[in-house]
Amino acid sequence: MVAAAAREIRDGETVFVGMRLPLLAFCLAKETHAPEAIGLYENGVVRATPSPELLYTMSDPPNLLGATRCTEMLGVMGPLAAGRVDLGFLGAAQADRFGNLNSTEVRPPGGGIVRLPGSGGACDIASLARRFVVLLEHKRHRFPERVDYVTSPGFLRGGKSREEAGLVRGGPSAVITTLGVLRFDPESREAFLDSIHPGADLESLLRETGFPLRTRDPLPTTTPPSEEELAILRRYDPEGFWTGD
């Protein structure tokens, strides 16, 4: 998942890094194919170099040491609002067939409502970045036909509905899961399976998706991490805090 996320970063891009696995993905991209990428962190940190050590949160001292700029939240949200952020990484509790995300509340089958942390900056990134990528565990309850609550807009109802709602740029470009990589049809804006991870089973993947999921034909296997990528990841995460089982 980290290697696949890193490959979504293009050289020279401005990237809203986000928490958890994207912290590693940005470092990996910087050391391989995207040395000129710039990282923005929601707490106001701007980095032109990868953090020298493993990060548990974006506010850890290693992320401040050697940073290009340590500002406030407006210092990174301003460029986002101005359309100068190319890519944002997001997580969520749910993602649906049009890439809408829910991190506000879920409604379990037995009834009731479970409240979640909410948007943070996720709605801003999903609305204003030129594209965004989601990282998510592939479980059926996390991939419903329709999210219980639209915290962060994807392609809304599909087709041109995002543009008609006034969101003139952006949208999800990929959902990287524990089983594969989903992308979105350029016309219908509906998710399809673009690749399946090595060792994953297609039947199990489809069973763990709560909506009919088209697949590429033939369906490729996600390119596994190279030896160089693995060496970099093990250097940044030597005890497997993020990448261990």
Name the residues annotated as catalytic. Answer: 42
Domains and CATH numbers, the chain: 2-236 (3.40.1080.10)
Per-residue pLDDT, 210: 96
**Rounded Cα gap, residues 241 and 140, in angstroms:** 25
At residue 18 the predicted structure's pLDDT band, cuts being 50, 70 and 90, is confident
What pLDDT, in 10s, does the model give residues 179-229?
999 999 999 999 999 999 999 999 999 999 999 999 999 999 999 999 999
**DSSP per position, 89-153:** EE--SEE-TT--EE-SEE--TTSS-EE----TTHHHHHHHSS-EEEEE---GGGS-SS-SS-SB-
At residue 109 the predicted structure's pLDDT band, cuts being 50, 70 and 90, is confident
At residue 111 the predicted structure's pLDDT band, cuts being 50, 70 and 90, is confident
Q: Is the pLDDT of residue 245 over 80?
A: no
Tell me the average pLDDT across 60-64.
92
Location of structure tokens 């996390």: 142
